[in-house]
Structure 1
């Protein structure tokens, strides 16, 4: 991003303080109610909203209340691939959307490049009051709030209730002694496997997830993790799986596997809804110690791109107002209930609603979002180093290319590679 764009963005933000205050604080209603008619901008304002693919109809229907309450704000909904949000926005911030959806792990790169700015205090306060702690962490970077959380995502355990009981799935050792667990260790996906290090108390980029030199996997606990991976070659209850996970679940070759909400429909199709059980991760014995297996937690965000607004304070104020509405309780409720979305809410109030707590998958993800079960995926740019470097080491350990006498040496090098040293 050029210095000129950064100057323009900062100028627009400075000029918008008054407008934002009026937009957010003009009445006693929360931002997810959209405000009252008298709070709306006098002049018509047009906004572009980038949303994930196959969701345009949901958003156009879901924004009807916002449109009715804010007749002077016209919202154009455009589908994009939110996994490429930072790439698409950074190409040309002035032509990008005013508000866009993104996974939280892209936040650090967007902030460091100057594309998005710290959000106004009144919105940050509201987010901290209304959203769960892990969602707040996902929306912050270097101690400041930069985005609006609207959902959470974590892997869970899927299992066949004909082969495993609720008691069995509390422990990896019980699962693999009484039936089978499917994982891919032959070609490791670091998103799924690397959290084993956090399960034993090690850190990725420090306790904050933002300390470049804070990864401490090269210790005795880290060595134990590598030994556990190597030992799965001799575990009769462990089955290596890849793209065939669902087919092996359907055939009964595996009785359980760990994946995210995106695989629920496939799991139901594989064995039937009556047989499908969903649970939090089990405990796991690593280095002779029973620990809670952890997963990475993802936070779904909306961010405001101030560049298109320039010095148009009404447009920037409208953008923040829309972002607050989209992350508010009402919108999180309707997106959870909509079958085409079914996003697990990050709003405290909505998480306690009966329609969430009575949903087996949602209840498991909400539980997984606690610090005992997951780690908010770090969002610093050095995560780019982490993915390939860690996957290569973990894969080579299982495949026997790295032997136990090399574990310490390889971990020492991995920690350096992750930090970019």
Structure 2
């Protein structure tokens, strides 16, 4: 009996010692040779961070705030390099072992990054991250039910218009915009007709899908169904309308500056220039409805993507990198991005702050637009989408597409979209 009691005392003593070692104030060496401090984080973590050239100064301020808000990170070394979100996938996949521990990337890159094993599955504060973010931003960061990115900003397009030419009621419908007779030499409406980013919104609004409802099936695209044919007919009429012009960014900016344009589709990147041109007549609104030939009223669903922060799956500092990535995408940092870069937030609290958002009308409208947007597919098959859609738009402009051959042309377009990568 005495031996059993002694054994029990020894076991309890070992358990207590183990618990003290895990949660005590003293530092203990990890297997990687780092030292663990507060909350189990390494006190001497070395983290590489990638961000765009334009964000460098802002990121320096964010890191300073991060260390102030997280004393456990006071002695961390956080080295920054210039790699933009649009280039992140290419640079990471060159060699993940030397890539940044934390990097910003566009959501349409997530499937390839995850498939290559380059993204760390988010485990820390996952439920809170989801709760803090708008639903479609979380969808863009999720694969097979697992979260692989921290939503930071939203990106899509909406409509700019000249308030001296259209009322708030008139800009709700593209039909009413086109029906109005404006002064000589003024274009009622313009868009980049041979650009799939814009054209796809009409198909999505009519219920068509690209790569299935979840955007993950490379064998599915129904832009050539009955509704798709009606959308194609609408685009054909749009391209032939004398009140419509095919404008890319430079042309639409020049037209607004010269007072020769009533309304157009674009994103927040053009807000400053258009505001300077229109002054008090600067107007922004969500994209207008269209009416198809069968009488169906469609609200186009703009394609949207998001900038996410990701953690490299090969990082030596997973917990520390997650803490930093979560911080860089939190409410405080998203507010700073909004104020410094005019970026549209994904944080639900900021999106409820109308007083804040209304200081940037373009961002306020974009935040509304994104609520009904369709997430840009992230699978590699998306690379086969842009060129066929561009060709379709160009053929509509050139009248190589007719209502008689519309189904045939859409069948051909869809075949190209679904062809094996590299083949058209």
Query: Which string of whole-angstrom CA distances, capped at 9 and with x for unpartnered residues, describes residues 57-108 of structure 1?
Result: 1110122121222213221122222211110111111111101111100111
Structure 1 residues 42 and 225: alpha-carbon distance in aligned structure 2, compared to 1, 3 A threshold: closer
The aligned counterpart of 1:260 is 267
TM-score (norm 2): 0.84
The aligned counterpart of 2:371 is 370
1:157 paired with 2:159, answer yes
Structure 1 residues 352 and 155: alpha-carbon distance in aligned structure 2, compared to 1, 3 A threshold: same
Q: How does 1:389-408 map to 2 (within 5 A)?
A: 389-408=388-407
Larger relative contact order, structure 1 or 2 (CA cutoff 8 Å, min sep 6)? 1
The aligned counterpart of 1:207 is 213
Equivalent of 1:76 in 76, 79, 84: 79
SS of the counterpart of 2:96?
A: coil
* Residue 420 (structure 1) shift: 2.5
Equivalent of 2:101 in 93, 98, 104: 98
TM-score (norm 1): 0.85
Q: How does 1:217-256 map to 2 (within 5 A)?
A: 217-242=223-248, 243-256=250-263
Structure 1 residues 234 and 189: alpha-carbon distance in aligned structure 2, compared to 1, 3 A threshold: closer
The aligned counterpart of 1:352 is 352
Equivalent of 1:182 in 158, 174, 190: 190
Moved over 6 A (4+): none
| In 1, Cα distance between equivalents of 2:297 and 2:149 | 37
SS of the counterpart of 1:101?
A: strand
| In 1, Cα distance between equivalents of 2:320 and 2:66 | 11
* Residue 233 (structure 1) shift: 4.0
Structure 1 residues 231 and 42: alpha-carbon distance in aligned structure 2, compared to 1, 3 A threshold: closer
Query: Which string of whole-angstrom CA distances, capped at 9 and with x for unpartnered residues, describes residues 123-149 of structure 1?
Result: 331222110001101111233211110
Structure whose alpha-carbon radius of gyration is higher: 2
Q: Is residue 253–residue 274 contact of structure 2 (8 Å, CA) maintained in 1?
A: yes
SS of the counterpart of 2:242?
A: coil
Structure 1 residues 334 and 104: alpha-carbon distance in aligned structure 2, compared to 1, 3 A threshold: same
Structure 1 residues 38 and 117: alpha-carbon distance in aligned structure 2, compared to 1, 3 A threshold: closer
Equivalent of 2:202 in 196, 202, 206: 196
The aligned counterpart of 2:45 is 45
Structure 2 unaligned blocks of 5 or more: 1-21, 24-36, 183-187
Structure 1 unaligned blocks of 5 or more: 1-21, 24-36, 310-314
1:116 paired with 2:119, answer yes
The aligned counterpart of 1:19 is none
Equivalent of 1:304 in 300, 308, 311: 311
SS of the counterpart of 1:54?
A: helix
| In 2, Cα distance between equivalents of 1:42 and 1:399 | 62
* Residue 290 (structure 1) shift: 1.4
Is the deviation greater in 82-91 or in 109-118?
109-118
The aligned counterpart of 2:27 is none
Query: Which string of whole-angstrom CA distances, capped at 9 and with x for unpartnered residues, describes residues 264-302 of structure 1?
Result: 011012222x11011111111123321112211111101
Structure 1 residues 52 and 40: alpha-carbon distance in aligned structure 2, compared to 1, 3 A threshold: farther
How many residues end up aligned between the 2 structures? Answer: 374
Q: Is residue 229–residue 398 contact of structure 1 (8 Å, CA) maintained in 2?
A: no
RMSD, aligned α-carbons: 1.8
SS of the counterpart of 2:160?
A: strand
| In 1, Cα distance between equivalents of 2:169 and 2:213 | 32
Q: Is residue 104–residue 309 contact of structure 2 (8 Å, CA) maintained in 1?
A: yes
Q: Is residue 51–residue 79 contact of structure 1 (8 Å, CA) maintained in 2?
A: yes
| In 2, Cα distance between equivalents of 1:276 and 1:347 | 27
